[in-house]
A = this chain, B = another copy of it.
């Protein structure tokens, strides 16, 4: 099959490109390079089953060209930082909601009907059910980012019913690993390189979340794409472990060999709309034979090692 991967030069996107190439597929990468990095596609670029098109998902013309000859789309392009939704409310709307609609319309024009959407466990919002299954009680949203991802999911689902699309939606916990380029481990490593004696932490440090290694993550996505049969298939993807922010600080400082004074901002939420606990029931994807190979601690340590070896990424605007 030939897959179009939007957000191909991003953290998860570039790993999915590698995974699909390893599985023997042809891959067209699509990225506007606003946050994606060509460096992440160096390996893929050496594979003659890969091509890259630079374009924005909101721009129909290059998107139509990119879709030419594709059998399906893995839609990973997104405004992906949950913490800053309230600072620029239009970014999630444009890139995640209108962007997804734009991809769906281009697919309809091109007659391409298979789509995989990277969504988020944050859409369980105010849930009180842990671990949270895909059919948890209808939640109330707590962040602009999750609201935009829920809207994207809803549009994908409606296209399945209205236009005969087939969709795989993966709801991801926070992803760690090589090429990680935003999030709390990034921020902590960056701070500790600038001032190893002090670490400023949002919230009380006790927010507890599940994480998944990016290699495990894209293995789950590729498996779901291969096995899905129903018009809409939804899979939570995460590990059964959790880690608190304070625990991650322990792993990071040990790996860096520093002993900073920790200054907690206080409050159980790191930012408005933060979920103090994210832990997903992943039995659906596990029933297909998937399980994470990497522990959260391993994933944190490899993330730190990657950031130290590629410190250019810490200096980007």
Contact of A157 among B142, B158, B234 (CB under 8 A): B142
Copies in the complex: 2
Contact of A105 among B89, B97, B134 (CB under 8 A): B89
- Tell me, yes or no, whether A272 is within 8 Å of chain B by CB: yes
C-alpha spacing A148/B151, complex, angstroms: 7
Task: Across the interface, name the chain B residue whose C-beta is closest to A144.
Answer: B158
Within 8 A of B (CB), among A79-121: 85-86, 89-90, 93, 97-98, 101, 104-105
- Tell me, yes or no, whether A130 is within 8 Å of chain B by CB: no
Within 8 A of B (CB), among A250-279: 272-273
Min CB–CB distance A236 → chain B (angstroms): 11
**Would you call the interface of chain A mostly helix, strand, loop, or mixed?**
helix
Min CB–CB distance A306 → chain B (angstroms): 32
**Chain B residues, CB < 8 A from A317:** none
Known contacts A151-B150, A162-B273, A272-B162, A134 near B125 by CB under 8 Å: no
**Chain B residues, CB < 8 A from A151:** 97, 147, 150-151, 154-155
- Tell me, yes or no, whether A139 is within 8 Å of chain B by CB: yes
C-alpha spacing A85/B98, complex, angstroms: 16
- Tell me, yes or no, whether A288 is within 8 Å of chain B by CB: no
C-alpha spacing A155/B90, complex, angstroms: 11
Chain A interface residues toward B at CB < 8 A: 85-86, 89-90, 93, 97-98, 101, 104-105, 125, 134-144, 146-148, 150-151, 153-155, 157-158, 161-163, 232, 234, 272-273
24 A-B pairs with C-beta separation under 8 A: A85-B158, A89-B104, A93-B97, A97-B97, A97-B151, A135-B137, A136-B137, A138-B139, A140-B157, A140-B232, A141-B153, A141-B154, A141-B161, A142-B157, A143-B158, A144-B158, A144-B162, A147-B158, A148-B154, A150-B151, A151-B151, A151-B154, A161-B272, A162-B273
**In the complex, the 10 A-B pairs of residues with the closest C-beta atoms, listed nearest first:** A151-B151, A147-B154, A135-B137, A147-B158, A141-B157, A86-B162, A141-B154, A142-B161, A162-B272, A150-B154
